[in-house]
Amino acid sequence: MALGRPQWGAVRARIAELAPTLPAVPLGEVELHLPFEVADYTDFYSSEHHATQVGRILRPERPGLQPNWKHLPIGYHGRSATVVVSGTRSNGPPASSARASSGPPGGWTSRPRWVSWWACRAGAIGPADFAEHVFGVVLVNDWSARDIQAFEYQPLGPFLGKSFATSVSPWVVRSRPCPARSCRRRRRTRSRRSTCGPRATAWDLSLTVEWNGTVVSSPPFAQMYWTPAQQLAHLTVNGASVRTGDLYASGTVSGPNRAQAGSFLELTWNGAEPVELGDGSVRGFLEDGDTVTISATAPGPDGEPLGLGSVTGTVCR
């Protein structure tokens, strides 16, 4: 990772060369670990649909989108220590303290994310430098205790409501340069009139969210407003440095429809419109023992779908 992009390619080529000579190990016999040690963890807020819908739910008296949202990528730093590999049971917060003194009766929601991970270099990184710095992509589930978050987030942002666990998929998929970046930027400056379809974006991921095995949502990544390259530039534009192992996430991926909701907060409209799962049970929020799995595919270089794997996790308070 730290050696940079030329070595990433060389190692990959060497592995491909060696692979036929190595014994096959069934995947079921393998225990997968966290694929890298997380240095700094940042989570963004790149979906206009998500930001607007969450604003409507949590701040109904004001416009959904904050005035700053289209001027710069909004994000926050999270707790690196609690990034865990897919499959880890998440011990969440006791759902008591914040509720006792505040807001809506809540519960956990989960949010599908993508994530990138970069190699070190000091100094500001422009959008064009993206491919040199981002090693690859994992899927991220940023578990959130919305009742706690809603109470604590003024004015310094989320803290206990998110710091207990963030799950990532165990396989890092190597990123490729993003040909649609300039297209996406052009779209924004042309008063948001798009001249290129969503298939033109390199990040045309199709996500699937399962709640206890029932597919509840299919968020479209291609509609994200801020691109990974813009976010990487934003992370360093103020002179801040980055390191090998830094992890940054897109933030919740939501489309305009309920069936494209990227967070359960939106899916159930903060619990007001519960969903029915395959076993007949009804959920407004996550319950103890619930399992959430997010998987994703993208168009591959040959037009074949490229799997990005999945991230799964079970909550227990």
Residues that bind a copy of itself (CB under 8 A): 39-40, 45, 55, 66, 68, 71-72, 74-82, 90-94, 97-98, 101-102, 145, 148, 151-161, 163-165, 234-235, 237-243, 246
**Which residues make Cβ contacts (< 8 Å) with residue 234, sequence separation at least 6?**
72, 73, 75
- In the bound state with a copy of itself, the residue whose beta carbon lies nearer, of 39 and 306, is 39
- In the bound state with a copy of itself, the residue whose beta carbon lies nearer, of 180 and 265, is 265
CB 85 within 8 A of CB 309: no
Closest C-alpha among 96, 112, 289, 97 to residue 208: 112
At position 264, the amino acid (one-letter code) is F
3-state secondary structure of 54: helix
Q: Which residue out of 50, 71, 133, 234 is catalytically annotated?
A: 50
Tokens 């530039």, residue located: 233
- In the bound state with a copy of itself, the residue whose beta carbon lies nearer, of 59 and 174, is 59
Minimum separation from the CB atom of position 196 to a copy of itself (A): 27
CA distance 289 to 317: 8
- 120-123: long-range contacts at Cβ-Cβ below 8 A with a sequence spacing of 24 or more? 120/2, 120/242, 120/243, 120/244, 121/242, 122/241, 122/242, 123/236, 123/241
CB 68 within 8 A of CB 203: no
| Calculated CA dihedral for residues 164, 59, 265, 50, nearest 10 degrees | -100
Minimum separation from the CB atom of position 53 to a copy of itself (A): 13
- In the bound state with a copy of itself, the residue whose beta carbon lies nearer, of 91 and 257, is 91
Minimum separation from the CB atom of position 244 to a copy of itself (A): 10
User: 77 catalytic, yes or no?
Assistant: no
Minimum separation from the CB atom of position 158 to a copy of itself (A): 7
Q: How many residues does the chain have?
A: 317
- In the bound state with a copy of itself, the residue whose beta carbon lies nearer, of 239 and 280, is 239
- In the bound state with a copy of itself, the residue whose beta carbon lies nearer, of 88 and 214, is 88
Q: Pinpoint the alpha helices (H) of 200-292.
A: 228-236, 264-267
HSE of 18, CA atoms in CB hemisphere, 13 A: 8
Minimum separation from the CB atom of position 240 to a copy of itself (A): 4
At position 51, the amino acid (one-letter code) is A
Active site (catalytic) residues: 50
